[in-house]
Amino acid sequence: MKKILGILILGLLIASPAFAFNKFMIKQQKRFKNSELVKIPSYRAFDFYSIQEGWYKESPSEFDALIIYPKGEGPFPLVMVSHSSWGPEEFYSKWMTWHKRQAKKLQKMGIATMFIDHFTARDQIGSTAGNQFTVNIWSQFLDSFIALEYLSKNPKINIKKVGIQGGSRGGMVSILASEKRLRDALISKDLYFAAAQPLYPDCEDVGMFRNPQPIKETKTWMILGGSDNYTRPEPCVDLGNKIKANGGDIIVNIKKGWRHDFIGNYEVEDMKYAQIFWKCPKWYTEDDGKMSKSYMDFLLEYVDRWETEEDFYKMSREDPLRTLKFSFDPYNFSGCMFQGAKGGGDKGNQIFKTNIKFWKENLLN
């Protein structure tokens, strides 16, 4: 009887919401009053083509989020925060106090914050820093718009005043948050982000649109490290110019001498396990929704299971996560991937006030 009772208690613990959320999300919640942890249904996707064709609906998934509200009933503006490869630990880490400081400041100003954990509920992975082929980046691109739709049903949120911010992987999510084709394929066309702040994103190796179609209502401020040897600034400058030329409202700032992860409150150090991809063939999304031919050829050359483009898309539809894992082979076998990135620098204080001003001007006014 005691054994059976023990099994029942264990089952209840596993099923309980507190047990299901990442421990760092739970710890982060304890720092704030007026907050809630939620699970939001989402999907997996390997690339934009799977979203364009509707295949993503065949791979349901979910992600976790922590919403922190100001005092009162609302409706409140909100800043959505997407984490880097570091994962949800980034939000709570003593080496990344930016997030706590910003959320506390915004809360006092009457702006809510939503921290998104893209990894735990989807793949039970804490970090992709040492292996980027464990969680699909396009699944993260999905999450921001799915989260926006979720917030549109929350009476405490002013859905016309939602911003998004993130560094590295989260920075990529913040760029794609202004892409019209992605929004239109996923949610209602009357939903959009009022502002976006990408920090040190990768703009050349993750399927960014070669010819972006920006949502004109989204005000984007992209901040890049001039000495970032992990996610280089030059491709992001080029992308920013394309977004602006196509009618987007974007400002791109390059900070001379700054490295990757510059808002982290630690000195510059070696990012020992970081995988660098900029010597590899570039992955862009073309106007037909498919990946660039040079990148497809790169995949077909090194993955024996894919003899044709049709073979690749068949697997990406049936099992996007398995497709991602096989996609590691070309990088590994070709030798184009390398290490040696540096990150940190404790530069957050130098832009914090301007950062808060950005949210005030675009979300409160």
Q: Which amino acid appears at position 326 of this protein?
A: F
pLDDT of residue 127: 83
Q: What is the pTM of this model?
A: 0.93
Classify residue 160 by burial, with Cβ atoms within 10 Å: 0-12, 13-18, 19+.
middle
**Angstrom distance (rounded) from CA 263 to CA 275:** 20
Residue 79 predicted with pLDDT over 80:
yes
Query: Over the stretch 85-100, which tens digit does the pLDDT of each residue have?
Result: 999 999 999 999 999 9
Q: For the chain, what are the domain ranges?
A: 16-268+345-364
For 35-61, what is the mean pLDDT? Answer: 96
Looking at residue 145, its pLDDT comes to 98
What are the backbone angles phi and psi of residue 61, rounded to the nearest 5°?
-150, -165
DSSP-assigned states of every residue in 112-144:
EEEEEESSHHHH--S--TT-TTSS-HHHHHHHH
- At 124 the pLDDT is 75
**Residue 47 DSSP code:** S
Average pLDDT estimate for 21-41: 96
pLDDT surpassing 70 at residue 3:
no
Average pLDDT over residues 246-259: 98
pLDDT at 101: 98
User: What is the CATH code for 16-268+345-364?
Assistant: 3.40.50.1820
Question: What pLDDT, on a 0 to 100 scale, did the predictor assign at position 10?
Answer: 32
pLDDT(2) > 50: no
pLDDT at residue 14, rounded to an integer = 36
Average pLDDT over residues 215-235: 98
Q: Cα(142)–Cα(313) distance, rounded to whole angstroms?
A: 18
Average pLDDT (199-224) is 97
Q: For the residues 127-145, what does the mean pLDDT come to?
A: 88
Classify the phi-psi angles of 164: left when phi > 0, otherwise alpha if psi is within -120 to 50, otherwise beta.
Answer: beta
Q: Which of 203, 338, 343, 225 is nearest to 277 (CA)?
A: 338
| Main-chain dihedrals φ then ψ at residue 289, nearest 5 degrees | 95, -10
Whether the CB-CB separation of 55 and 149 falls below 8 Å is answered with: no
* Average pLDDT for the chain: 93
- pLDDT of residue 17 exceeding 50, the answer is no
Q: Is the pLDDT of residue 55 over 70?
A: yes
